[in-house]
Structure 1
Amino acid sequence: MLTLLSVLHRMKLLTPVGVFRLLFVICGYGINLMGLLKLAASSHRHLVALSDDRETLTYQQLLDQSECLAVQLREQYGLGSRSKAGLLCRNHASLVKSIFALSMTGADIYLMNAEMSSDEFAQLLDAHAFDFLIYDEEFTAVIEQSSYTGASVLSYHEHFPAISNLMHVPIKGRSRGHRNSDSKLMLLTGGTTGRAKKVAHKPSMFHYLPPFSSMLKRLRLLRYKTVYIATPIYHGYGIAILLLFVALGKKSVITDKFQAEHACQLVREHQAEVITVVPLMIDKMLRASNAEGDLKSLACIASGGAELNPRLAEEVSARLGEVLYNLYGTSEAGLSIIATPQDLDAASGTIGKLIEGVGLKVLDGSMNEAAAGEIGQFCVTSGPTWIKTGDMGYRDERGFFYLKGRVDDMIVSAGENVYPSELEHILLQHPFIEDAAVVGVPDELFGQRLKAVVQVKVGTELDAETLIEWLRPRAARYQMPREIVFVDELDYTPLGKVDRKQLH
């Protein structure tokens, strides 16, 4: 069984030399993400650590540039313990270097959604009072139109101060080293209210190793060399995979924005064995490429962040083999549930089984554990209390978990609790339907009923009356939609989830 000791052994930390390196790093750097990078560089100095659209860096180069950057951030901008640094960036090397450098200064690192609106950014400023901002040039208008008056620096620029040129400023004397263990990683994620909530993670190498051991075992990541991180690093899913592959001395490939054709090219060019995606991404890649050729190197497609359509899982299996894994996690608890390809074959629609050591239960309205098959809310432990995730679902007798949507997705129709995802799953079984989404709408007689938004496959025809007749023997009375709307294409958020606000 893969354990924490196995991970430490894989990182070469259980040998006398490894123990010495670990103690040296802790004494010189403290317990922070830069220490994690230093450990990786000590064993994998000349191996490629990171490749993006602009540059390719070995572990030693990434370490040296991140250390130089940490000194400049500390000396030029006064960053240190209790400083708050906000990062509004897409996936690129400057973002990665900034994360490591800020960790070394002791500043708290706030990863912001690069797709946020000006109003959402203003809310974050009011809530967190940043001392420093690092941002991509495309977000200049968002920054300038806000009330922010503190120090800031661009991620890339040829002439203005930017992360890309700060790291090349010479370091005076022996100012490089600065031990610090105060930094925290803040994931800013939308809660059930729609407002961003802050979830703090202590970026310690010891904090991340235990959950990584379960991920390594289920996804068999130790055997692979290269990961393409297609999901945003500002999302907990993306940063977790990045840190995992750094800890193992592997190669990570990133790109500013996801485009299906370019993503297929990157997989082929780097012969990536692992890719992190949301379901919409892999769906687009299958349609944009000769998947059997472009994607043949993939041995692990790690899908998360949104619900996985069982039909998509079947298509991936048919075209690429048993390579698809379904992951479920929360910002509060991190990765909690994994479905292997074998799990997806055995239980269609499952998000998998709990990983070892995760305190997650399905609780009913009275906060008691729900029986097998009974729908409740996913809750995670935080000391003696339970934190509600906002996700509804159930666990079957075999230990497989299933999602039924968010708490605020559920409607009450004529006294029945109705979950839109149940009707979505039925609709997606229709041979002419490419995609479908369902939301609740007001109804004078029933209080609420369902509205279905349907995308029909190219070359087929379907009307509402025909679809209603097809649904009658397959859906319960309270699941039948009050209206059906046909669209050319469904709207999705940048994170690959159906944009339900647009549906309403």
Structure 2
Amino acid sequence: MADTRIWHQHYPKEVPFHCDYPKQNLACILTNSAERYPGHPAIEFFGKKWTYKQLAEQSSRFANALIALGIHKGDRVAVMLPNCPQAVISYYGILMAGAVVVETNPLYTERELEHHFADSGAVAVITLDVLLQKVRAVKPKTHVRHILVTSIVDFLPFPKNIVYRFKQKKDGSLPNITYNQKILSVSALLKSAEARPVIADVDADNDIAILQYTGGTTGRSKGVMLTHANITVNTIQASVWSYTLEQGKERFLGALPLFHVFGMTVLLNMCFYMGGMLILMPRYDVNQLLKLIGKWQPTFFPGAPTMFIGILNHPELGRYDLRSVKYCISGSAPLPAEVQERFEKLTGGQIIEGYGLTEASPITHCNVAWGKRKIGSIGIPFPDTEAKIVDLQTGEELSVGAVGELAVKGPQVMKGYWNNEEETGKALKDGWLLTGDMAMMDEDGFFFIMDRKKDMIIAGGFNIYPREVEEVLYEHPGVMDASVIGIPDSYRGETVKAFVVAKPGITLFSEELDEWCRERLAAYKVPRYYEFRHELPKTMVGKVLRRKLLEEEMDKIYKA
């Protein structure tokens, strides 16, 4: 990489252009902090805390338990858990043993689980007792040998653990599990396993640490091979970028799911790399979120736009003091400018938009919180990261201001797709990762995402980027949520349809929004149709499922 790029002029003096990255097992992130801060709280869960020493010991026990079960270096182990201490212990225990973490969404259907487990070749699954039947149903069609079962109650403090069990018995939801050689209790394994430290030797540049499946919002999900070096690099990049955060002093709000690549990097990795305390939320709920902020006063809040929108629109927001939050990174979906401005005014902190994708561990770009930034921009590339805009057909680099596909290059970029050389070849070209996102770079080196390549609408020969239209809709004082798709049109080829969620207590009309858009957009970009809904279909991290909206529209057309 060249010594300087146009965007380096906007780096704060505290952020280096290049960093040193240790070639190590990713689990060293935890063990190193446990040596520095043994007595510091590492996790908070429903009022109970675990120190770094306790967390490292439990992870070591889990690693030794896996090794005793015959799980070897390179074996894939699926973690199918919500945000709870067991999710953290499993993650680091698997890495310590030299195995590969396969993060799995607990809400997956049996069909999705079958693909996930079979494609990865997972030999073991760690899951909740209430999800056991779903895992057992797909096990015969996979390579899974062991199902390791835990319960939320196992790590709850007294008397919450008693109350939780009583409630399960009362409503008939207490699972009746018969443990054997194939179905094992995580609690029993942790009690019987040795506590001796274990860190498998790895080739950091080539050995896979995480097999992270893409969300599947644009098709069948693929396993992204992320090495120990990939993840370590991105953790350090994110940490040096957040240079005002202090080692051993920060409190991280764990609202993002740990099984998502964004949550994994900024919570599972960055938090423990910095010796922070992770405040775990098993399930996102805006009421619970506000209570946690009030009680534990987190300083760092990585989230998705829907989380910030939910807070801003909460009817009792005035009851809560959010001024402890000094730094937020928003990712997984575009951050509306109005949301950014309102949230910063509310907290007095900084909320910046970043950009990434699973194939890049995931972060490649971010705005600078305490320096030059541009509203609506994803910011500038991380240290040791290159980016350019390329022509969709020729792959040639485009000039400043031109719209094309964003390509990125850096040590955080994946090794490739698991058992899929064809797709790997399409995504990686001479070390450059083709992101599939349409973007442009301005004269200052700031990048702007226009939209997904597959989401771009072509109406009457004009390219229309849904995000641009959505930004205008978000500016309307009565709009809480919005998404735009292209639907078939006999004359224009495609035309624009907007799905809108109004703020509580407000009634919106198509004519009102049409007038609003016509004042702010070229005529060909203005939605031709509006549909008002109570909510929009979204992923666990708040990304609107445009594919789902489009499928619903196509079903209407076929049935007409």
* C-alpha distance 448-3 of structure 1, shift in aligned 2 (>3 A): closer
Write the letter of the residue equivalent to 2:34. Answer: A
Q: Is the 8 A contact 2:252 2:299 kept in 1?
A: yes
* C-alpha distance 196-210 of structure 1, shift in aligned 2 (>3 A): closer
Per the alignment, residue 454 of structure 1 pairs with: 500
- Judge which range, 243-252 or 303-312, deviates more: 243-252
Q: Separation in 2 of the partners of 1:36 and 1:318?
A: 34
Per the alignment, residue 226 of structure 2 pairs with: 201
Per the alignment, residue 495 of structure 1 pairs with: 541
Q: Is the 8 A contact 2:388 2:397 kept in 1?
A: yes
* C-alpha distance 342-451 of structure 1, shift in aligned 2 (>3 A): farther
* C-alpha distance 71-322 of structure 1, shift in aligned 2 (>3 A): closer
Per the alignment, residue 235 of structure 1 pairs with: 260
Report SS of the residue matched to 2:475. coil
* C-alpha distance 62-412 of structure 1, shift in aligned 2 (>3 A): same
- 1:317 and 2:344 equivalent? yes
Q: Is the 8 A contact 1:230 1:255 kept in 2?
A: yes
In the TM superposition, residue 481 of structure 1 has moved relative to its aligned partner by 1.9
1:38-49 pair list within 5 angstroms: 38-49=31-42
1:82-121 pair list within 5 angstroms: 82-121=74-113
* C-alpha distance 368-384 of structure 1, shift in aligned 2 (>3 A): same
1:401-440 pair list within 5 angstroms: 401-440=447-486
Tell me which of 251, 254, 261 is aligned to 1:226: 251
Q: Separation in 2 of the partners of 1:380 and 1:110?
A: 25
Report SS of the residue matched to 2:134. helix
In the TM superposition, residue 82 of structure 1 has moved relative to its aligned partner by 2.5
Q: Is the 8 A contact 2:438 2:452 kept in 1?
A: yes
Tell me which of 145, 153, 161 is aligned to 1:150: 145
Q: Separation in 2 of the partners of 1:488 and 1:249?
A: 41
Mark the runs of 5 or more structure 1 residues left unpaired by the alignment. 14-21
Q: Is the 8 A contact 2:343 2:351 kept in 1?
A: yes
Per the alignment, residue 216 of structure 1 pairs with: 240
In the TM superposition, residue 154 of structure 1 has moved relative to its aligned partner by 1.2
Higher relative contact order (CA 8 A, sep 6+): 2
Report SS of the residue matched to 1:417. strand
Q: Is the 8 A contact 2:98 2:199 kept in 1?
A: no
Q: Separation in 2 of the partners of 1:126 and 1:198?
A: 11
In the TM superposition, residue 270 of structure 1 has moved relative to its aligned partner by 1.7
Write the letter of the residue equivalent to 1:332. Answer: E
Tell me which of 157, 165, 177 is aligned to 2:188: 165
In the TM superposition, residue 278 of structure 1 has moved relative to its aligned partner by 0.5
Write the letter of the residue equivalent to 1:199. Answer: V
- The alignment's C-alpha RMSD in Å is 2.8
Q: Is the 8 A contact 2:18 2:384 kept in 1?
A: no
Q: Separation in 1 of the partners of 2:536 and 2:342?
A: 20
1:1-32 CA-to-partner distances (Å, cap 9, x unmatched) read 44689999xxxx9xxxxxxxx9xxx9xxxx32
1:210-359 pair list within 5 angstroms: 212-213=236-237, 215-218=239-242, 220-222=244-246, 224-241=249-266, 242-288=268-314, 289-290=316-317, 293-333=320-360, 334-341=362-369, 347-359=374-386
- 1:377 and 2:405 equivalent? yes
* C-alpha distance 433-179 of structure 1, shift in aligned 2 (>3 A): closer
1:323-360 CA-to-partner distances (Å, cap 9, x unmatched) read 2121211222231111234678x532111122221122
Q: Separation in 2 of the partners of 1:33 and 1:291?
A: 42
1:51-100 CA-to-partner distances (Å, cap 9, x unmatched) read 2237421111111111111111111x211113111111111111111111
Write the letter of the residue equivalent to 1:397. Answer: E
* C-alpha distance 73-451 of structure 1, shift in aligned 2 (>3 A): same
Q: Separation in 1 of the partners of 2:503 and 2:64?
A: 55
Q: Is the 8 A contact 1:91 1:256 kept in 2?
A: yes
In the TM superposition, residue 274 of structure 1 has moved relative to its aligned partner by 0.7
Q: Separation in 2 of the partners of 1:40 and 1:7?
A: 19
Q: Separation in 1 of the partners of 2:193 and 2:104?
A: 30
Per the alignment, residue 18 of structure 1 pairs with: none
Per the alignment, residue 398 of structure 1 pairs with: 444
Q: Is the 8 A contact 2:61 2:196 kept in 1?
A: no
Per the alignment, residue 124 of structure 2 pairs with: 132
Per the alignment, residue 180 of structure 1 pairs with: 201
In the TM superposition, residue 245 of structure 1 has moved relative to its aligned partner by 2.1
- Judge which range, 435-444 or 142-151, deviates more: 142-151
Report SS of the residue matched to 2:294. helix
Write the letter of the residue equivalent to 1:49. Answer: A
- Judge which range, 56-65 or 108-117, deviates more: 108-117
Tell me which of 419, 427, 432 is aligned to 1:386: 432
Q: Is the 8 A contact 1:110 1:185 kept in 2?
A: yes
In the TM superposition, residue 473 of structure 1 has moved relative to its aligned partner by 3.3
Q: Separation in 2 of the partners of 1:456 and 1:343?
A: 34
TM-score (norm 1): 0.87
Report SS of the residue matched to 2:338. helix
In the TM superposition, residue 170 of structure 1 has moved relative to its aligned partner by 4.9
Q: Separation in 2 of the partners of 1:269 and 1:126?
A: 42
- 1:60 and 2:53 equivalent? yes
Write the letter of the residue equivalent to 2:210. Answer: L
In the TM superposition, residue 44 of structure 1 has moved relative to its aligned partner by 0.8
1:14-33 pair list within 5 angstroms: 31-33=24-26
Q: Separation in 2 of the partners of 1:6 and 1:364?
A: 28
1:105-136 CA-to-partner distances (Å, cap 9, x unmatched) read 11111112233222221222331221111112
1:121-164 CA-to-partner distances (Å, cap 9, x unmatched) read 12223312211111123322321221245211113376753323
Q: Separation in 2 of the partners of 1:457 and 1:178?
A: 51
* C-alpha distance 180-468 of structure 1, shift in aligned 2 (>3 A): same
- 1:80 and 2:56 equivalent? no
Q: Is the 8 A contact 2:478 2:508 kept in 1?
A: yes
Write the letter of the residue equivalent to 1:259. Answer: D
Identity of aligned residues (%): 26
Q: Separation in 1 of the partners of 2:17 and 2:353?
A: 26
Mark the runs of 5 or more structure 2 residues left unpaired by the alignment. 1-12, 155-176, 410-427, 551-560
- Judge which range, 494-503 or 62-71, deviates more: 494-503
Q: Is the 8 A contact 1:65 1:168 kept in 2?
A: no
Per the alignment, residue 16 of structure 1 pairs with: none
* C-alpha distance 405-476 of structure 1, shift in aligned 2 (>3 A): same
Q: Separation in 1 of the partners of 2:518 and 2:549?
A: 23
In the TM superposition, residue 207 of structure 1 has moved relative to its aligned partner by 5.8
Write the letter of the residue equivalent to 2:240. Answer: L
Report SS of the residue matched to 2:398. coil
Report SS of the residue matched to 1:474. coil
Report SS of the residue matched to 1:428. helix
